[in-house]
Chains A and B, each alone.
Chain A
Amino acid sequence: MIRLAFYNFIRSNNVRIGLLFLLLTGVISLFIGKQFVEKQKQDIIDTSIYQKEFIEHYVEFKKDDLGLLLYYLKFALVNETLPISGLSIGQRDVNPQIKSVTIRGLEGQKHDTDLNNPNNLLLGNLDFSFVLIFLFPLLIIAFTFNIISEEKESGTWRIVSVQSKSLSKLILQLFSIRLVLILTVLLLILFLAIPILDIPLNVKFGAFSAISIGYILVWFGICFWVVSLQKNSSFNAVVLLSVWILLIIVLPAAVNNYLTNKYPVPEALEMTLEQRKGYHEKWDKPKEATMDKFFAHYPQYEKYPVPEDSFSWLWYYAMQQMGDDESLDSNREMKEKIALRQKESAAISLVIPTMHAQLTLNQVAHTDLGNNMQFLNNLDAFHENLRLYFYPKIFEGHPVENEDWSKFTPEYASMSQPVNWKKSLLPLLFATLLLSVMGLLNIRKIRRL
C-alpha cells in the first residue's frame, strides 16, 4: 500500500518538477557559496603578497628609523572563511575577514570596512541557507497541503477510508513519503556540498546537517497540524502560505526593526570621537600628561628617557596609545550594546524557527555577529602583541636591519565556536514535537465516513 502511494506520488509531473527545481537551486547555491569562499581565499593570498611587498619596500625606504617605519607598516590578521561558510554566508559579506593594522592607535583602524557594493548586500546572497529557509518550506507546503482534502474533494476519500485499517496510520504514511523525498533532496544537496566546497566531515558539518533536518521537520510539523484540521484545500493553502509569509518575511523583519530601534549604537560614534581626541589633544599638552598615563599602563617602559624639548617616538606612540586608552569605556559600552542585541535576538528566535535556523546555521558556519566580535577581540590581542614586541625595540633605537621582516606574514585568528547542540536543536525539535502531538490528537478523532 505504502509503496503504491509512493509511486503514485512520484509519478506526478508537478512533484518531479518541484523536486528538480529544489535540487537545481540547491546546487546553484553551492556554487555561489564556492565562489564566495574562493574570493575570500584569494583576498588572503593578495593580502600576504602585498603585505610582503609593502614591508620590503618600506624597510628599504625608511631603513634608518624603526619608529618611522612602524608608522607605516601594516600587519594583517585573518578570520579565515571556512569551506562550510559557503553554505551560510551570513554576515561575512558585511564584516571583513581581514584586518590590516599598524601599531598606532587601534580603535581608529579597527572598524574600517571592506570594498563593498551596497546593492549586493541589500539583495542578499543566494546561498544554501536561503534555499533551505525560504524555498524548502514552499515545496513542503505544496506537497502536503491537500493530503486529506483533495481526496475528500474528488470523492475518493470514502474509498480510501474503507480500504485502510487505520486512517491516522494512512495519513502518517502519506506524510512520511513526502518527508523521505524532501529529506533525500536535502541530504543530496548537502552530500554534493562536500566535494564542491571541499567541506571536511567534522562535527560542524554534522551540526549544520542536523539543524537543516530539524528545520525541515518543523515545517512538516506545521503542515501536518494544518492538514489535521481537515479543512478544504484552499483553506489549507492560504493558511500555510500565510504562515510562510509570517515566519519568513513579516516576523523576522519586524523583529529586526524592533531591535534596531531599541538598541541604537551611538556608543560607536562616541568611541570614534573619543579616540581622535584622546590622541590628538596630547600634541598640545605637556609631555608629562601623556607619559604619566603611558607609564602607568606600561610600567616596564618607565626606564626609557623622554627628551623634553624634541620629538621622540616614545612620546609619539604614547600619544597614539592614549587614543585607545581614553576611548576604552565607550568601546566597552559598544560591545555590551552589541551583546544585548545578540542576546535578545537569540531569545526571540527561540519561538521563530526561521530566525533560529538562520542564526544557528550562521553560528556553525562562523558567519554570525558573534564570530565577528570574537575576531575583533582577537585583533585587540594581536595588536597588543605587536605593540609589546615593537615598543621596546623602537624605544631602544634598534636598527631596522636587525629585524627578520620576512616573518611578518598575515596571521590567523584562533576562533573557537563550539557547537551548542542543545541550544541549536532543542527549539526546533520541541516545535516539531508540539505540532506533531497537536496534529496527532486531531487525526485520532477522524471518523470513517
Chain B
Amino acid sequence: MTDAPSPVARRGPVPWQVATVTAIRPETPTVTSFTLRPAEWRPHVAGQHYDVRLTAEDGYQAERSYSIASAPEEAGQIDLTIELVPDGEVSAYFHEVIVPGDLVEVRGPIGGYFSWRPGERPLLLAGGGSGVVPLMAMLRARAAAGARGPARLLYSAREPDEVIYHGELARFAAARDGFEAFFTLTRRQPPGWTGYARRIDREMLAEVARPLGTEPDVYVCGPTRLVEVVADGLVAVGVPAARIRTERFGPTGT
C-alpha cells in the first residue's frame, strides 16, 4: 500500500457524551434518519461515524457505529441514517422505541480513513444499500461547499422502495453542478426503468468511471462482496488502487 499517514487536526480520543434526539424522518420502509444534538458538538468530516451505546437497566451494553449522513455545515447536530436489521439490538431500539426528546449515549466523530473534504478533483462514489449513507454526507458537503468538480454516484439497491435519499439525489443531479447519479436496481425495476438492472460489474464500472479520467478519488461503501467487486473492478479498468478507499458494512455495522 502507498497510503501515507495524513494529518489529523483533532487531538486525543473523543469522549462519550449524551445527545438528544430532535427529529425522526423515515427514508424507506426499513430505513430512518435520526437527528441528534450532542451536548458538545464537534465538526466532522464527511464519511466519519458516531458510535452509539445503549445501556440496559442490568448494565448490559450494546454498541454500534453509524455513519454520519449530514454535512458538517449543519452545525450543532448530526443525522444518522439507520437501517432496521433483523434481530438488531441497537437498530431496533432506534426504530421501535426512540421518540424525539429521548437521550442516547454517543461518541464521535470518529474515523479518518473513509473521509472526504470538498475539492475539485474528480470524485467517484459507489455504494450498496445503506452504504450510501456516508456517500450522501460527502454529496451534501459538496453541495454545501459549492464544489463543481465532476462527481458521480453509482448506487446499487434491490428495489425502487429501498433507494434512500431518492428525492435529494434527484435534486442534486438536476442542479447540473458536475454531479451525476447512476442507479442499479438488482431485483425489481419500476415500469419504464432506464437505469441499470443488474449487480455492479466491470462493464458498469467502466461506463460510470471512465468519464472521470484515470485518477478519480474513489469511495466505496456497502456489504463486503459489493466492496470487493467494485474495488477489484475499478483496479481492472485502470483506477490506481491507492485512490480507492473502502468501508464495509455488515450485520454488525447496521
The judgment on whether A and B are partners is no
Q: Which residues of A contact B (CB under 8 A)?
A: none
